[in-house]
Amino acid sequence: MLIGELAKRTLCSVRVIRHYEQCGLLLSKRSGNGYRMFDEAAVEHVLRIRVLLRNGFTVDEIRPVTLMLDARPKKLICADVIRLYQSKVDEIEQRIAELTEVRDRAKQRLRVIVEQRNQGGPFGPDGPL
């Protein structure tokens, strides 16, 4: 199929399909006139790339498992994909912990400066904070 049909069937733009190809996430063949040609499996391949991107993976994280994204039964999901997801979950958990810590410090500081302001502290009731 041509790139336009692949874009239509995956609800992606042609530009996105080209980007996936340039990044090494998607392969095409060239017809005699130079048009990109994709096989039927490319539809599922692009849809799986989009799921990974929506789930927070970067192109660089996806690239090593690209060949495993072709349509295959769920029971045959590669251990590399499982590791990829586990790594992403671990990364997200770490970011959540760091952000929780930052939020808690900001909330504590907010309580202190509100209390200072209410007591006419160093900035006074109408002074800058």
Phi-psi region of 58 (alpha: psi -120 to 50; beta: other; left: phi over 0): beta
> CA 79 to CA 68: how far, in whole Å?
10
Contact 10, 47 (CB under 8 A): yes
- Tokens found for residue 126: 């109408």
pLDDT at 71 over 60: no
What are the phi and psi torsion angles at 94 (to 5°)?
-65, -45
Which stretches of the chain are DSSP H helices? 3-10, 14-22, 41-54, 59-62, 79-118
10-54 pLDDT, tens digit per residue, is: 999 999 999 999 999 999 999 889 889 999 989 999 999 999 999
Q: What integer is the mean pLDDT of 71-77?
A: 59
List C-alpha distances in Å: 38 to 44, 54, 64. 11, 23, 20
